Structure 1
Amino acid sequence: MIQSHSIKQKMGQFLHILFPILVTQIALSAITFFDTNMSGKFGTADLAGVAIGTSLWIPIQTGLNGILMGITPIVSHLVGSKRDNEVAYKVTQGIWLSLIVSLLVLLIGFLSLSPILNFMNLEPAVRDIAARFLGAISFGVIPLFGYTVLRSCIDALGQTRVSMFITLIALPVNVGLNYLLIFGKFGFPQMGGVGAGVASAITYWVIFLVALVFIYRAEPFVGLRLFRKFHFMSLSTFKELLKIGVPIGFSIFFETAVFSAVTLLMSRFDTMTIAAHQAAINFASTLYMIPLSICMSLTILVGFETGSGRLKDARQYGIIGIGTAAILSFATALVLLFAGNHVAGLYSDEPAVISLIQHFLIYAIFFQISDAIATPTQGVLRGYKDVNPAFIICFIAYWVIGLPVGYVLATYTNLGAYGYWIGLITGLAIGAILLMSRLVIVQRRFAAKLEAGEV
């Protein structure tokens, strides 16, 4: 990354960072999509088993990935403040932490998976496939979390195109292995949905090793001398990483888990309503990749500028990022408003289901506008290393306000299933307002500290 001197230069650098991250996020989500889709082509029980396994794994994966992503603002600050010589040590400690997190996940999963699946009262075939799918994917837990640390370092240096390249390698590898292992092609064993778990685990090892090669041999990483020297675990550095990473991880976890909670609560409605809700949520989740990618870009850019003590530049990046997200959200709102029927038609051929999906998509308009403000604002706050208040705000907005309001409206009014969406919209809107207020406070405090020589 380089220092920019005009809005035009900042916009160019922002887009240079953003585009590869957006492609990366879409590619990562596509891996889960192909696991589920290709398992469904093999059999209904395999589809259900993989869907159950994925629904249990994704909130944990995204939450713990968020904790390890705490390395991003740390590296950005070090680079911005010209302390490049400290990056290798911090990244090594991040790898140690990822190993500890991986082992804890494996231990907890080993002890709790059977009781959780038994509690869900699944059909024996579905339960067996879900258990074996998660058992297979567990062999990729260590490289997956290790890759999260490496990718966070790569992105923090502004080399988001490298992350994009590595992830784009992962997609054909995963799809190809799915084809071989799910369907038993070219002499490989026919494993059904379990083969998707094996394919994902192998894919995680591939991207981890490719990332290691890049960091060890390619510019500009060579100059940082990453992994040239052995460093023992440092509890004090773990504390620094966790202080930033834990709130980020929990914020992501609470945001992803609330949708699982809503889906669970909606199980009392008829199948058509549940299907329409899932389709609309799926499309809204796809749109969410835009503000999420902007959020990650702003963490890198704002962290770089605050590390350099250039608060005006950091503030300008925040305005550019949040403004871009807002403009794009209004553009997608127009698409949903005038072409919602076509979007709904992508998910079903039944007129009644299409009509229901279209109704849910109207609520998705307000949903994603709030997301366009709240999510990038979190990215700016992370760039300032201000994460605890944002985590508390997210918890209150989604779980204390959004979910209870949705439950009351869905249960005690004639809004029915739409009540949950109104509750989520309410929580997101309040969260966006509170996060923006927090950002104003943080910027003022940071400016005062810089003036006093405390930063």
Structure 2
Amino acid sequence: MRELSTVLRHALTVLAGQLAVMAFGITDTIVAGRHSQDSLAALSIGSAVFISVYVALMGVLQALLPVWSEQRGAGRDADIGASVRQALYLWLVACVLGMAVLLLPGTILRATEVPPALRGEVRAYLAILAFGLPPAMLFRLYSTLNQALGWPQLVTWLQVGALGIKIPLSIWFTFGGAGLPAQGVAGCAWATLVVNYALAGFGLVMLRRPALYAPLRLWQRLEAPDRAQLARFLRLGLPAGLAILVEVTSFTLMALFIARQGSLASAAHQIASNLAAVLYMVPLSLAIATSARVSFWRGSGDERRAVVVAWQGFGLAALAGCGLAATLFVTREQIAGLYTDSAEVVALASALLVWVAAYHVADALQTLCIFVLRSWHVTLAPLLVYGVLLWGVGLAGGHALAYRGLAGIAPLQSPAAFWGASAAALALVALLFTALLALVMRLRLRQA
């Protein structure tokens, strides 16, 4: 019972911060929707590209959580500081790669057949966010470190505070005022850039607090790259990052493929995807808290307690997933109406939210499983499952159902084709991950 309470406290703290971050996206969606339907469509496409890049690179850094949690459980605090300094080399490479993609998105936009009329706004949006990527990735390192140490509140305070900056800046930059001309969807990007630098700056200030971080010996001279340690990071982080890339692109590429259906479809999809992302924060928070605790006990040498914590987290994720999906299904029309005053967009978005509810139940279970599997350093098998099912069944199946027809069904020409196929694919992923997690834990208990 004590472990369950620890996981819940950690998860709720992480959730508060994650919801604050998601409120950034909700703010931009509402602001862009009130500005114009085209602005909302451009935001849908631009954010899909940015999130694909950011989350894939973030996954490499987030995968270091079990490494630092194990070191914490084993009482090797000084090793954590050296490990964090080595992680800065990963941060540097990630920033270079990410900025290159965001500054040169033309190939992606052409390949996904984004309407030419929207490409200019999308390019401007991504160019601004490219320069906000380095501080965002630096803050991700700060977040992962504190979550591994069991101090998520030090992240949450900053994220909640940043929301107070983001909301007024997005409104001001988008609509203009006080001598600043209206910038449309680019204004949302400028607001995000300012917030990212503020978060990174405050995070660095927090790391200077000696009472908390002195045992880690963080502020030592930066060592030369340690090939052995960086190779270990990559063995864990690269498959994890690629898995997240497959997972996220199976979600975000829908926006680019749906864009050819017009601004109405893109706007409705943006609402659906935004709500799916908000709901995802609950299982994500539970997964982070559970995996941190599982890794801590593994570092302490107590495999049996690690397994108990893993199953407790799984039960919480299942319960929360079903409850949130039911709530969304019942209130879908009212929620869609909060985003826009267009009756057409509300009607289409409400229909899509039925699929989002089904999608979320499977998403909750698979998210918990894949994070806990990383605690046992299992990363390659989930990557293969994601590639086959999320890309092969979800994204490709949705594309076929929408534009070519499938199994005797005429082309739907609707975002619902993508959401239905993705929900089915994610359900299969959840079943396979649950079976894999049970197998891994059974084997580890036997070895112990």
TM-score, normalising length: structure 2: 0.88
Change (3 A) 1:106 1:422: closer
2:280 equivalent to 1:282 = no
Change (3 A) 1:206 1:46: same
Choose the corresponding residue for 2:15, options 1, 19, 22.
22
2:203, 2:21 → 1: CA distance?
Answer: 15
Asked if the contact 1:216/1:225 (under 8 Å) is kept, the reply is: no
| 1:249-301 CA distance string (max 9 Å, x none) | 22222122112333444456576666555433432332222112212222211
2:431 equivalent to 1:437 = no
Change (3 A) 1:199 1:268: closer
Choose the corresponding residue for 2:162, options 167, 170, 185.
170
Asked if the contact 1:70/1:242 (under 8 Å) is kept, the reply is: no
- Provide the aligned length of Structure 1 versus Structure 2: 441
Amino acid across the alignment from 1:427: A
Asked if the contact 1:22/1:290 (under 8 Å) is kept, the reply is: yes
Amino acid across the alignment from 1:25: Q
Match of 1:240 in 2: 232
Secondary structure of 1:242 counterpart: helix
| 1:22-48 CA distance string (max 9 Å, x none) | 122222222233334435555666555
How far the C-alpha of 1:398 sits from its partner, in A, is: 0.8
Asked if the contact 1:302/1:317 (under 8 Å) is kept, the reply is: yes
| 1:340-390 CA distance string (max 9 Å, x none) | 443444456677765554443333333222112111111211122221211
Match of 1:229 in 2: 221
2:263, 2:35 → 1: CA distance?
Answer: 23
Amino acid across the alignment from 2:312: I
Bigger RCO of structures 1 and 2 (CA < 8 A, at least 6 apart): 2
Match of 2:381 in 1: 389
| 1:129-183 CA distance string (max 9 Å, x none) | 3333322222222221111111100110010111101111222222343345444
Secondary structure of 1:91 counterpart: helix
1:383, 1:10 → 2: CA distance?
Answer: 16
% identity of equivalent residues: 26
2:21, 2:355 → 1: CA distance?
Answer: 26
2:419, 2:170 → 1: CA distance?
Answer: 35
User: What is the Cα-based RMSD across aligned positions, in Å?
Assistant: 2.9
Which residues in structure 2 correspond to 1:351-362 (within 5 Å)? 356-362=348-354
Match of 1:367 in 2: 359
2:341, 2:173 → 1: CA distance?
Answer: 31
1:447, 1:358 → 2: CA distance?
Answer: 46
Amino acid across the alignment from 1:335: T
Secondary structure of 1:220 counterpart: helix
2:290 equivalent to 1:298 = yes
| 1:81-105 CA distance string (max 9 Å, x none) | 1111100011111122101211232
1:264, 1:129 → 2: CA distance?
Answer: 14
Secondary structure of 1:13 counterpart: helix
2:439, 2:324 → 1: CA distance?
Answer: 31
2:396, 2:107 → 1: CA distance?
Answer: 28
1:176, 1:274 → 2: CA distance?
Answer: 25
2:57 equivalent to 1:59 = no
2:269, 2:119 → 1: CA distance?
Answer: 25
How far the C-alpha of 1:447 sits from its partner, in A, is: 2.7
Change (3 A) 1:436 1:398: same
Change (3 A) 1:370 1:167: same
Asked if the contact 1:397/1:427 (under 8 Å) is kept, the reply is: yes
Change (3 A) 1:262 1:74: same
Amino acid across the alignment from 1:222: A
TM-score, normalising length: structure 1: 0.87
Match of 1:143 in 2: 135
The unaligned stretches of length 5 or more in structure 1 are 1-6
2:324 equivalent to 1:326 = no
Asked if the contact 1:374/1:432 (under 8 Å) is kept, the reply is: yes
Change (3 A) 1:367 1:169: same
Amino acid across the alignment from 2:151: Q
Secondary structure of 2:131 counterpart: helix
| 1:117-140 CA distance string (max 9 Å, x none) | 56656556x444333332222222
Change (3 A) 1:78 1:176: same
Match of 2:425 in 1: 427
Amino acid across the alignment from 2:52: P
Change (3 A) 1:88 1:65: same
Asked if the contact 1:49/1:128 (under 8 Å) is kept, the reply is: no
Change (3 A) 1:334 1:138: closer
Change (3 A) 1:143 1:420: closer
Secondary structure of 2:72 counterpart: helix
The unaligned stretches of length 5 or more in structure 2 are none
